[in-house]
């Protein structure tokens, strides 16, 4: 991949190898001189990140690094980021990393410009309606999974209950995205695999979601096609920029498409994150074929379309599920929960959290507690 491109759907997206070098010019054009760079410790230790920050300084800017993001992000990480923003007298925020870092960057932007506690603005509460403009926010994804860079929400876990809580507002959408596949080449194969199936899950569940949105349907099917054709290559050859770029696009397309809705796979994944602190992408990757089997009878034609999109020899729903299982094996994703550290004795709690999660409300067919129990039991086998 050598060409660079620019899109404006749903925000200003600079896409292609090397586009990150335009960050300095962009911040200067917005008269932003003191950015807070929000990331995690793993990314901040990489040479490519060090070079990125050095380029900001060489361009006459005064960046400050906050790399306190760890695992599934929690409110205390956001508060520490807000303190760093204030101490630096920052005028902008640059999120660099995976979904966790980008979500924390959004939440920092919110609390840096709004009073009160973070969850005062949780989606569905009166506070959510009061969210207004936030400091200038730029996103540079280093993983191809959540697509948080083109999303309007931040998912932050409650430290006491571990329940994932969502803060949503169009004002949280980054003003500019620098989607540079070169930023993803240092991802280890296991993270490439887990985040890649997370991106596929977004496209799949958006396409299956019950709401009517043909625009999202079209984006989701093409995002699925891109991911299916390139994920295994990205895992096997991390420096293949064509595959890395395709996965970044697949990730962004999935996040754009799932404004239509998600489904039961995400409800099971959110339960695994809450109860077992399982990485979100890995949780989706483990559960996807087990959970999706529940939907086949409701929307068989959509499974046939997906089978065609990923290149199955036939277009039966079962062919698509077999393809998913084969892909998991090829990229070394655990076949089932039995291959993870999740305790099967937590079954009741997993079922309860999954059922309370709102994602499955857009599933193409209703899901009961008993249904979730059967799905988890099958996934443990």
Across 52-67, average pLDDT: 97
Question: Given a cut of 90, is residue 300 above it in pLDDT?
Answer: yes
Question: Given a cut of 70, is residue 1 above it in pLDDT?
Answer: no
Question: Given a cut of 90, is residue 205 above it in pLDDT?
Answer: yes
Residues 162-194: tens digit of each pLDDT: 888 899 999 999 999 999 999 999 999 999 999
Residue 71 pLDDT: 82
Six-digit token pair at 288? 């996807």
Residue 15 pLDDT: 96
Provide the CA 295 distance to its chain's centre, in angstroms. Answer: 23
Residue 7 pLDDT: 66
pLDDT confidence band for 215 (50 / 70 / 90): very high
- Angle 281-350-156 from CA coordinates, rounded to 5°: 50
Residues 90-106: tens digit of each pLDDT: 999 999 999 999 999 99
Q: DSSP secondary structure string, 65-123?
A: EEEEE-SS-BHHHHHHHHHHHHHTT-SEEEEEESHHHHHHHHHHHHHTTS-S-GGGGBT
Residue among 59, 12, 63, 10 at smallest CA distance from 38: 63
Question: Given a cut of 90, is residue 305 above it in pLDDT?
Answer: yes
φ/ψ of 355, rounded to 5, equals -65, -35
Superfamily for the 188-380 domain: Dehydroquinate synthase-like - alpha domain (1.20.1090.10)
Q: Where are the domains of the chain?
A: 5-183, 188-380
- Structure-model confidence comparison of residues 62 and 10, the more confident one: 62
- Global confidence as pTM: 0.93
Determine which helix (DSSP H) or strand (DSSP E) holds 303, and give its type and residue range. Answer: helix 300-309
Q: Which fold would CATH assign to domain 5-183?
A: Rossmann fold (3.40.50)
Question: Given a cut of 80, is residue 2 above it in pLDDT?
Answer: no
Residue 45 pLDDT: 94
């Amino acid at each position: 991949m050598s060409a660079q491109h620019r899109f404006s759907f749903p925000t200003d997206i600079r896409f292609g190898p090397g586009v990150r070098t335009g960050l300095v010019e962009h911040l200067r054009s917005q008269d932003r001189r003191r950015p807070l760079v929000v990331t995690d410790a793993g990314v901040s230790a990489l040479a490519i990140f060090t070079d990125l920050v050095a380029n900001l300084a060489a361009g006459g800017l005064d960046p400050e690094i906050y790399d306190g993001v760890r695992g599934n992000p929690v409110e205390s990480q956001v508060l520490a980021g807000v303190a760093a923003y204030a101490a630096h007298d920052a005028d902008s925020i640059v999120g660099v990393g995976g979904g966790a870092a980008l979500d924390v960057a959004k939440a920092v932007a919110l609390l840096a410009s709004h009073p009160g506690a973070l969850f005062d603005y949780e989606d569905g509460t009166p506070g959510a309606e009061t969210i207004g403009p936030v400091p200038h926010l730029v996103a540079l994804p280093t993983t191809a999974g959540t697509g948080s860079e083109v999303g309007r929400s931040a998912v932050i876990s409650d430290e006491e209950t571990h329940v994932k809580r969502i803060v949503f507002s169009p004002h949280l959408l980054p003003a500019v995205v620098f989607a540079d596949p070169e930023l993803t080449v240092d991802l280890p194969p296991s993270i490439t695999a887990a985040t890649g199936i997370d991106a596929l899950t977004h496209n799949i569940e958006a396409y299956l979601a019950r709401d009517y949105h043909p625009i999202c349907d079209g984006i989701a099917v093409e995002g699925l096609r891109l991911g299916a054709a390139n994920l295994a290559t990205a895992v096997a050859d991390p420096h293949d920029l064509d595959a890395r770029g395709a996965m970044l696009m697949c990730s962004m397309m999935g996040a754009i498409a799932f404004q239509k809705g998600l489904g039961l796979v995400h409800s099971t994944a959110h339960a695994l994150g809450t109860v077992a602190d399982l990485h979100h992408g890995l949780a989706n990757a483990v559960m996807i074929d087990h959970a999706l089997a529940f939907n086949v009878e409701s929307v068989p034609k959509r499974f046939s379309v997906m089978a065609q999109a990923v290149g199955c020899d036939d277009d039966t729903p079962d062919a698509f599920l077999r393809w998913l299982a084969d892909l998991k094996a090829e990229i070394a994703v655990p076949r089932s929960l039995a291959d993870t550290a999740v305790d099967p004795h937590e079954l009741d709690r997993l079922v309860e959290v999954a059922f309370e999660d709102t994602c499955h409300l857009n599933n193409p067919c209703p899901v009961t507690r008993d249904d979730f129990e059967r799905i988890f039991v099958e996934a443990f086998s």
